[in-house]
Amino acid sequence: MIDVAVAGGGLIGLSVAWRAAQRGLSVAVVDDAPGTGASAAAAGMLAPVTEAAYGEEALLRLCLASLQRYPAFAAEVEAASGLPVGLRTAGTLVVGFDADDVRALDALHDYQQELGLAVERLTPRETRRREPGLTPRLRGGLAVEGDHSVDGRALHRALTGAVEAAGVRLVRDRVAGVQVSGGRATGLALAGGGELAAGTVVLALGAHSNTLPGVPPLPVRPVKGQILRMAGAAGLLTGTVRALVRSRHVYLVPYGEDGLIVGATTEDRGFDATVTAGGVHELLHDAIEVVPGVTELELVETLARWRPGTDDNAPLLGPSTLPGLVLATGHHRNGVLLTPVTGDLVAELLATGELPGLAAPFTVERFPHR
Ligand code: GLY
Protein backbone atom coordinates (compact mmCIF):
# COMPACT_ATOMS: atom_id res chain seq x y z
CA MET A 1 0.00 0.00 0.00
CA ILE A 2 1.23 3.50 -0.81
CA ASP A 3 0.72 6.61 1.30
CA VAL A 4 -1.06 8.77 -1.29
CA ALA A 5 -2.93 8.04 -4.53
CA VAL A 6 -3.66 11.17 -6.56
CA ALA A 7 -6.57 10.95 -8.99
CA GLY A 8 -5.71 13.31 -11.83
CA GLY A 9 -2.39 14.21 -13.45
CA GLY A 10 -3.11 17.79 -14.42
CA LEU A 11 -1.11 20.66 -12.95
CA ILE A 12 -2.89 20.49 -9.59
CA GLY A 13 -2.50 16.72 -9.17
CA LEU A 14 1.16 16.83 -10.15
CA SER A 15 1.91 19.72 -7.83
CA VAL A 16 0.33 17.94 -4.86
CA ALA A 17 2.13 14.69 -5.74
CA TRP A 18 5.49 16.43 -6.06
CA ARG A 19 5.26 18.27 -2.77
CA ALA A 20 3.96 15.15 -0.99
CA ALA A 21 6.86 13.06 -2.35
CA GLN A 22 9.28 15.75 -1.17
CA ARG A 23 7.80 15.31 2.31
CA GLY A 24 8.84 11.63 2.23
CA LEU A 25 5.47 10.11 1.30
CA SER A 26 5.11 7.32 -1.25
CA VAL A 27 2.88 8.70 -4.01
CA ALA A 28 1.24 7.56 -7.25
CA VAL A 29 -0.70 9.67 -9.77
CA VAL A 30 -3.37 8.03 -11.90
CA ASP A 31 -4.45 9.55 -15.22
CA ASP A 32 -5.00 8.01 -18.65
CA ALA A 33 -4.15 11.26 -20.47
CA PRO A 34 -2.32 13.58 -18.09
CA GLY A 35 -2.30 17.26 -18.96
CA THR A 36 -4.97 17.06 -21.66
CA GLY A 37 -7.80 18.58 -19.65
CA ALA A 38 -8.01 22.15 -18.39
CA SER A 39 -4.20 22.25 -18.09
CA ALA A 40 -3.95 21.98 -21.89
CA ALA A 41 -6.42 24.76 -22.55
CA ALA A 42 -5.32 27.23 -19.89
CA ALA A 43 -3.74 30.44 -21.12
CA GLY A 44 -1.47 30.44 -18.07
CA MET A 45 -2.33 33.88 -16.73
CA LEU A 46 -0.92 34.57 -13.27
CA ALA A 47 -3.15 37.55 -12.82
CA PRO A 48 -4.83 37.90 -9.42
CA VAL A 49 -4.88 41.71 -9.55
CA THR A 50 -6.36 42.10 -13.04
CA GLU A 51 -8.90 39.34 -12.27
CA ALA A 52 -9.86 40.69 -8.83
CA ALA A 53 -13.63 40.45 -8.40
CA TYR A 54 -15.98 41.98 -5.83
CA GLY A 55 -16.67 39.75 -2.85
CA GLU A 56 -13.80 37.38 -3.62
CA GLU A 57 -11.21 38.84 -1.24
CA ALA A 58 -10.35 35.47 0.37
CA LEU A 59 -9.71 33.99 -3.06
CA LEU A 60 -7.60 37.03 -3.94
CA ARG A 61 -5.42 36.44 -0.86
CA LEU A 62 -4.88 32.82 -1.88
CA CYS A 63 -4.10 33.84 -5.47
CA LEU A 64 -1.62 36.51 -4.31
CA ALA A 65 0.06 33.95 -2.02
CA SER A 66 0.45 31.60 -4.97
CA LEU A 67 1.74 34.33 -7.28
CA GLN A 68 4.37 35.19 -4.69
CA ARG A 69 5.54 31.57 -4.73
CA TYR A 70 5.74 31.39 -8.53
CA PRO A 71 9.32 32.55 -9.24
CA ALA A 72 10.81 30.06 -6.77
CA PHE A 73 8.38 27.34 -7.81
CA ALA A 74 9.20 27.82 -11.51
CA ALA A 75 12.94 27.81 -10.83
CA GLU A 76 12.64 24.66 -8.72
CA VAL A 77 10.58 22.82 -11.35
CA GLU A 78 13.07 23.84 -14.05
CA ALA A 79 16.05 22.71 -11.96
CA ALA A 80 14.42 19.38 -11.07
CA SER A 81 13.35 18.60 -14.64
CA GLY A 82 15.89 20.39 -16.81
CA LEU A 83 12.95 21.80 -18.79
CA PRO A 84 11.73 25.40 -19.21
CA VAL A 85 8.31 26.46 -17.91
CA GLY A 86 8.02 29.70 -19.88
CA LEU A 87 7.47 32.14 -17.01
CA ARG A 88 6.92 35.66 -18.43
CA THR A 89 7.25 38.64 -16.15
CA ALA A 90 6.31 41.41 -18.59
CA GLY A 91 3.18 42.43 -16.66
CA THR A 92 -0.42 42.73 -17.81
CA LEU A 93 -2.45 45.51 -19.40
CA VAL A 94 -6.22 45.79 -19.14
CA VAL A 95 -7.71 47.93 -21.88
CA GLY A 96 -11.14 49.34 -22.58
CA PHE A 97 -12.56 49.71 -26.05
CA ASP A 98 -15.53 52.06 -25.71
CA ALA A 99 -16.80 54.55 -23.12
CA ASP A 100 -18.77 51.91 -21.18
CA ASP A 101 -15.72 49.63 -21.13
CA VAL A 102 -13.60 52.45 -19.69
CA ARG A 103 -16.22 53.09 -17.01
CA ALA A 104 -15.97 49.42 -16.05
CA LEU A 105 -12.17 49.78 -15.99
CA ASP A 106 -12.45 52.78 -13.68
CA ALA A 107 -14.66 50.78 -11.31
CA LEU A 108 -12.11 47.95 -11.33
CA HIS A 109 -9.34 50.46 -10.69
CA ASP A 110 -11.22 51.94 -7.70
CA TYR A 111 -11.72 48.47 -6.25
CA GLN A 112 -8.06 47.52 -6.79
CA GLN A 113 -7.00 50.72 -5.04
CA GLU A 114 -9.35 50.07 -2.12
CA LEU A 115 -7.58 46.73 -1.70
CA GLY A 116 -4.17 48.42 -1.86
CA LEU A 117 -3.14 46.55 -5.02
CA ALA A 118 -0.40 47.91 -7.29
CA VAL A 119 -2.07 49.17 -10.45
CA GLU A 120 -1.56 52.20 -12.65
CA ARG A 121 -4.27 54.02 -14.66
CA LEU A 122 -3.07 54.83 -18.18
CA THR A 123 -4.22 57.18 -20.92
CA PRO A 124 -4.75 55.64 -24.37
CA ARG A 125 -1.39 57.06 -25.47
CA GLU A 126 0.43 55.60 -22.47
CA THR A 127 -1.29 52.27 -23.01
CA ARG A 128 -0.15 52.09 -26.62
CA ARG A 129 3.35 53.18 -25.73
CA ARG A 130 3.62 50.00 -23.68
CA GLU A 131 2.06 47.76 -26.32
CA PRO A 132 2.26 49.37 -29.79
CA GLY A 133 0.32 46.44 -31.25
CA LEU A 134 -2.85 47.73 -29.58
CA THR A 135 -5.46 49.55 -31.66
CA PRO A 136 -5.36 53.37 -31.65
CA ARG A 137 -9.13 53.18 -31.05
CA LEU A 138 -8.84 52.00 -27.44
CA ARG A 139 -10.06 54.43 -24.78
CA GLY A 140 -7.84 53.71 -21.78
CA GLY A 141 -6.01 51.13 -19.78
CA LEU A 142 -4.64 49.82 -16.52
CA ALA A 143 -1.13 48.46 -16.04
CA VAL A 144 -0.42 45.75 -13.50
CA GLU A 145 3.31 45.11 -13.42
CA GLY A 146 2.96 42.17 -11.03
CA ASP A 147 0.50 40.05 -13.05
CA HIS A 148 2.42 37.58 -15.19
CA SER A 149 1.96 34.39 -17.21
CA VAL A 150 3.44 30.95 -17.59
CA ASP A 151 3.26 28.46 -20.47
CA GLY A 152 0.81 25.95 -19.00
CA ARG A 153 1.78 23.11 -21.33
CA ALA A 154 5.50 23.67 -20.80
CA LEU A 155 4.90 23.77 -17.05
CA HIS A 156 3.02 20.49 -17.23
CA ARG A 157 5.87 18.83 -19.14
CA ALA A 158 8.45 20.11 -16.68
CA LEU A 159 6.38 19.25 -13.62
CA THR A 160 5.96 15.72 -14.97
CA GLY A 161 9.75 15.44 -15.14
CA ALA A 162 10.11 16.84 -11.62
CA VAL A 163 7.50 14.45 -10.26
CA GLU A 164 9.20 11.44 -11.86
CA ALA A 165 12.58 12.56 -10.54
CA ALA A 166 11.05 12.72 -7.06
CA GLY A 167 10.05 9.05 -7.28
CA VAL A 168 6.31 9.47 -7.90
CA ARG A 169 4.75 6.58 -9.83
CA LEU A 170 2.73 7.72 -12.85
CA VAL A 171 -0.03 5.22 -13.62
CA ARG A 172 -1.44 5.55 -17.14
CA ASP A 173 -4.97 4.38 -16.54
CA ARG A 174 -8.38 5.96 -16.16
CA VAL A 175 -9.61 6.43 -12.61
CA ALA A 176 -12.83 4.38 -12.42
CA GLY A 177 -13.74 5.26 -8.85
CA VAL A 178 -12.68 5.80 -5.28
CA GLN A 179 -12.70 2.59 -3.24
CA VAL A 180 -14.48 2.86 0.08
CA SER A 181 -14.26 0.39 2.92
CA GLY A 182 -15.42 0.78 6.52
CA GLY A 183 -16.60 4.31 5.78
CA ARG A 184 -13.29 5.61 4.47
CA ALA A 185 -11.47 5.94 1.15
CA THR A 186 -8.95 3.14 0.78
CA GLY A 187 -7.66 3.64 -2.76
CA LEU A 188 -8.53 4.02 -6.41
CA ALA A 189 -10.24 1.59 -8.76
CA LEU A 190 -8.62 1.62 -12.19
CA ALA A 191 -10.55 1.27 -15.45
CA GLY A 192 -8.00 -1.30 -16.62
CA GLY A 193 -9.15 -3.58 -13.80
CA GLY A 194 -6.50 -3.00 -11.18
CA GLU A 195 -6.68 -1.32 -7.83
CA LEU A 196 -4.35 1.04 -6.08
CA ALA A 197 -4.56 0.83 -2.30
CA ALA A 198 -3.53 3.99 -0.49
CA GLY A 199 -3.64 5.53 2.96
CA THR A 200 -5.11 8.73 1.50
CA VAL A 201 -6.70 9.53 -1.84
CA VAL A 202 -6.40 13.03 -3.32
CA LEU A 203 -9.10 14.08 -5.74
CA ALA A 204 -7.61 16.34 -8.42
CA LEU A 205 -9.82 15.54 -11.38
CA GLY A 206 -10.86 19.10 -12.13
CA ALA A 207 -14.30 19.36 -13.71
CA HIS A 208 -14.66 15.57 -13.50
CA SER A 209 -14.31 15.54 -9.72
CA ASN A 210 -18.06 15.34 -9.19
CA THR A 211 -18.71 12.40 -11.48
CA LEU A 212 -16.55 9.73 -9.90
CA PRO A 213 -18.14 6.70 -8.22
CA GLY A 214 -17.40 6.68 -4.50
CA VAL A 215 -16.98 10.46 -4.24
CA PRO A 216 -19.61 12.29 -2.16
CA PRO A 217 -21.50 14.99 -4.13
CA LEU A 218 -19.35 18.10 -4.56
CA PRO A 219 -20.27 21.60 -5.74
CA VAL A 220 -18.09 21.31 -8.86
CA ARG A 221 -19.46 21.75 -12.37
CA PRO A 222 -17.89 22.04 -15.83
CA VAL A 223 -17.65 25.60 -17.18
CA LYS A 224 -16.74 25.37 -20.84
CA GLY A 225 -14.08 27.61 -22.31
CA GLN A 226 -13.04 27.75 -25.95
CA ILE A 227 -9.56 29.05 -26.75
CA LEU A 228 -7.50 29.71 -29.89
CA ARG A 229 -3.79 29.23 -30.40
CA MET A 230 -1.96 31.34 -32.96
CA ALA A 231 1.55 31.28 -34.39
CA GLY A 232 3.63 34.02 -35.99
CA ALA A 233 3.05 36.51 -33.16
CA ALA A 234 6.71 37.27 -32.36
CA GLY A 235 6.96 40.94 -31.33
CA LEU A 236 3.21 41.57 -31.50
CA LEU A 237 2.78 41.81 -27.70
CA THR A 238 5.29 41.66 -24.87
CA GLY A 239 2.91 40.78 -22.04
CA THR A 240 -0.68 39.75 -21.45
CA VAL A 241 -3.47 42.00 -22.70
CA ARG A 242 -6.93 41.66 -21.24
CA ALA A 243 -9.63 43.70 -22.90
CA LEU A 244 -13.21 44.75 -22.53
CA VAL A 245 -14.69 45.06 -25.99
CA ARG A 246 -18.22 46.44 -25.80
CA SER A 247 -18.62 44.74 -22.42
CA ARG A 248 -17.21 41.38 -23.62
CA HIS A 249 -13.99 40.03 -22.16
CA VAL A 250 -11.12 38.74 -24.24
CA TYR A 251 -7.50 38.06 -23.38
CA LEU A 252 -4.36 37.67 -25.46
CA VAL A 253 -1.42 35.87 -23.88
CA PRO A 254 1.92 35.54 -25.70
CA TYR A 255 3.88 32.34 -25.11
CA GLY A 256 6.97 30.59 -26.46
CA GLU A 257 8.87 31.97 -29.46
CA ASP A 258 5.91 33.32 -31.40
CA GLY A 259 2.74 31.85 -29.91
CA LEU A 260 -0.37 33.71 -28.83
CA ILE A 261 -3.37 32.34 -26.95
CA VAL A 262 -6.70 34.07 -27.36
CA GLY A 263 -9.42 33.20 -24.86
CA ALA A 264 -11.89 32.39 -23.70
CA THR A 265 -15.59 31.78 -23.88
CA THR A 266 -17.47 31.01 -20.66
CA GLU A 267 -20.35 28.61 -21.21
CA ASP A 268 -22.55 26.44 -19.02
CA ARG A 269 -23.03 23.48 -21.36
CA GLY A 270 -21.94 20.51 -19.33
CA PHE A 271 -19.18 18.39 -20.86
CA ASP A 272 -19.66 19.70 -24.37
CA ALA A 273 -16.26 19.86 -26.11
CA THR A 274 -17.52 21.34 -29.38
CA VAL A 275 -15.56 24.23 -30.82
CA THR A 276 -18.28 26.39 -32.31
CA ALA A 277 -18.23 28.83 -35.21
CA GLY A 278 -19.82 31.40 -32.91
CA GLY A 279 -17.20 30.90 -30.19
CA VAL A 280 -14.29 31.22 -32.61
CA HIS A 281 -15.89 34.20 -34.31
CA GLU A 282 -16.44 36.03 -31.02
CA LEU A 283 -12.85 35.47 -29.88
CA LEU A 284 -11.29 36.41 -33.24
CA HIS A 285 -13.53 39.43 -33.68
CA ASP A 286 -12.71 40.85 -30.25
CA ALA A 287 -9.00 40.00 -30.44
CA ILE A 288 -8.68 41.72 -33.82
CA GLU A 289 -10.56 44.79 -32.56
CA VAL A 290 -7.98 45.12 -29.78
CA VAL A 291 -4.82 44.00 -31.62
CA PRO A 292 -5.39 44.40 -35.37
CA GLY A 293 -2.20 42.45 -36.17
CA VAL A 294 -3.93 39.26 -35.03
CA THR A 295 -5.53 39.16 -38.45
CA GLU A 296 -2.16 38.18 -39.99
CA LEU A 297 -1.45 35.28 -37.63
CA GLU A 298 -1.74 31.59 -38.34
CA LEU A 299 -4.59 29.94 -36.46
CA VAL A 300 -2.98 26.66 -35.39
CA GLU A 301 -5.36 25.21 -32.82
CA THR A 302 -8.84 25.58 -31.43
CA LEU A 303 -9.81 23.79 -28.24
CA ALA A 304 -12.65 23.56 -25.75
CA ARG A 305 -12.18 22.28 -22.19
CA TRP A 306 -13.90 22.70 -18.84
CA ARG A 307 -12.96 24.82 -15.89
CA PRO A 308 -13.89 23.12 -12.63
CA GLY A 309 -16.39 25.75 -11.50
CA THR A 310 -17.68 26.09 -7.95
CA ASP A 311 -20.54 28.14 -6.53
CA ASP A 312 -18.21 30.83 -5.18
CA ASN A 313 -15.46 30.53 -7.84
CA ALA A 314 -12.93 29.37 -5.22
CA PRO A 315 -11.26 25.95 -4.97
CA LEU A 316 -12.07 23.05 -2.67
CA LEU A 317 -9.02 22.25 -0.57
CA GLY A 318 -8.56 19.85 2.31
CA PRO A 319 -10.61 17.07 3.88
CA SER A 320 -13.86 15.93 2.31
CA THR A 321 -16.88 14.45 4.09
CA LEU A 322 -15.41 11.00 3.33
CA PRO A 323 -12.50 10.18 5.68
CA GLY A 324 -9.35 9.41 3.74
CA LEU A 325 -10.41 11.52 0.74
CA VAL A 326 -8.70 14.90 0.36
CA LEU A 327 -9.85 17.53 -2.12
CA ALA A 328 -7.64 19.55 -4.47
CA THR A 329 -10.16 20.63 -7.05
CA GLY A 330 -12.62 23.33 -8.11
CA HIS A 331 -9.92 25.80 -9.15
CA HIS A 332 -12.23 27.31 -11.76
CA ARG A 333 -10.40 30.18 -13.53
CA ASN A 334 -7.25 29.97 -11.43
CA GLY A 335 -5.82 26.48 -11.76
CA VAL A 336 -2.46 27.46 -13.20
CA LEU A 337 -2.05 30.36 -10.79
CA LEU A 338 -3.00 28.25 -7.77
CA THR A 339 -0.76 25.29 -8.68
CA PRO A 340 2.14 26.15 -6.30
CA VAL A 341 0.06 27.07 -3.26
CA THR A 342 -2.26 24.09 -3.69
CA GLY A 343 0.70 21.70 -3.76
CA ASP A 344 2.15 23.26 -0.62
CA LEU A 345 -1.09 23.39 1.38
CA VAL A 346 -2.38 19.94 0.50
CA ALA A 347 1.03 18.30 0.99
CA GLU A 348 1.19 19.89 4.44
CA LEU A 349 -2.14 18.26 5.28
CA LEU A 350 -0.97 14.91 3.90
CA ALA A 351 2.33 15.01 5.77
CA THR A 352 1.16 16.38 9.13
CA GLY A 353 -2.61 15.93 9.28
CA GLU A 354 -2.96 19.72 9.70
CA LEU A 355 -4.43 21.97 7.03
CA PRO A 356 -2.61 25.34 7.03
CA GLY A 357 -4.70 28.39 7.96
CA LEU A 358 -4.37 29.86 4.46
CA ALA A 359 -6.50 26.96 3.18
CA ALA A 360 -9.13 27.16 5.93
CA PRO A 361 -11.61 29.34 3.95
CA PHE A 362 -11.56 26.81 1.12
CA THR A 363 -12.70 23.57 2.73
CA VAL A 364 -15.92 21.96 1.55
CA GLU A 365 -17.45 22.85 4.93
CA ARG A 366 -18.33 26.27 3.54
CA PHE A 367 -21.06 24.52 1.55
CA PRO A 368 -23.02 23.03 4.47
CA HIS A 369 -25.88 21.85 2.24
CA ARG A 370 -23.45 19.44 0.55
N1 GLY B 1 -8.47 32.42 -16.23
C2 GLY B 1 -8.86 32.37 -17.58
C3 GLY B 1 -10.13 31.73 -17.89
O4 GLY B 1 -10.76 31.13 -17.05
O5 GLY B 1 -10.54 31.79 -19.03
Candidates 3.30.9.10, 3.40.50.300, 2.115.10.20, 1.10.3720.10; CATH matching 92-145+222-309: 3.30.9.10
Q: Greater confidence, 368 or 273?
A: 273
CATH 3.50.50.60 range(s) for the chain read 2-75+152-219+311-366
pLDDT over 60 at 370, yes or no: no
What would the mean pLDDT of 129-133 be, rounded to a whole number? 97
Q: Strand 92-96 and strand 240-245: pairing?
A: parallel
Strand partners, 298: 231
pLDDT at residue 324, rounded to an integer: 98
136 Cα: distance to centroid of ligand 1 (angstroms): 26
Q: Work out which ligand 1 atom sits closest to the CA atom of 43.
A: 2
CATH 3.30.9.10 range(s) for the chain read 92-145+222-309
At residue 241, φ and ψ (nearest 5 deg) are -120, 125
CB 331 within 8 A of CB 12: yes
51 Cα: distance to centroid of ligand 1 (angstroms): 9
189 Cα: distance to centroid of ligand 1 (angstroms): 32
In the structure, what pLDDT confidence band is assigned to residue 129 with cuts at 50, 70 and 90?
very high
Q: pLDDT of 29-49, one tens digit each?
A: 999 999 999 999 999 999 999
Within 6 A (CB) of ligand 1 lie 43, 45, 225, 263-264, 307, 333
pLDDT at residue 368, rounded to an integer: 78
pLDDT at residue 369, rounded to an integer: 64
Strand partners, 305: 225
What would the mean pLDDT of 213-242 be, rounded to a whole number? 97
Determine the residue of 39, 45, 265, 303 to mutate for testing ligand 1's pocket, defined as the one with the most ligand atoms within 8 A of the Cβ atom: 45
333 Cα: distance to centroid of ligand 1 (angstroms): 4
CB 8 within 8 A of CB 153: no
Q: pLDDT of 76-124, one tens digit each?
A: 999 999 999 999 999 999 999 999 999 999 999 999 999 999 999 999 9
Q: Which residues contact 335 (CB under 8 A, 6 or more apart)?
A: 10, 11, 12, 38, 39, 42, 206, 307, 308
322 Cα: distance to centroid of ligand 1 (angstroms): 30
Closest residue (by CA) to atom 5 of ligand 1? 264
Average pLDDT, the chain: 96
Return the CATH fold of 2-75+152-219+311-366: FAD/NAD(P)-binding domain (3.50.50)
What would the mean pLDDT of 122-149 be, rounded to a whole number? 96
181 Cα: distance to centroid of ligand 1 (angstroms): 38
Q: Work out which ligand 1 atom sits closest to the CA atom of 334.
A: 1
Length of the chain: 370
Closest residue (by CA) to atom 1 of ligand 1? 333
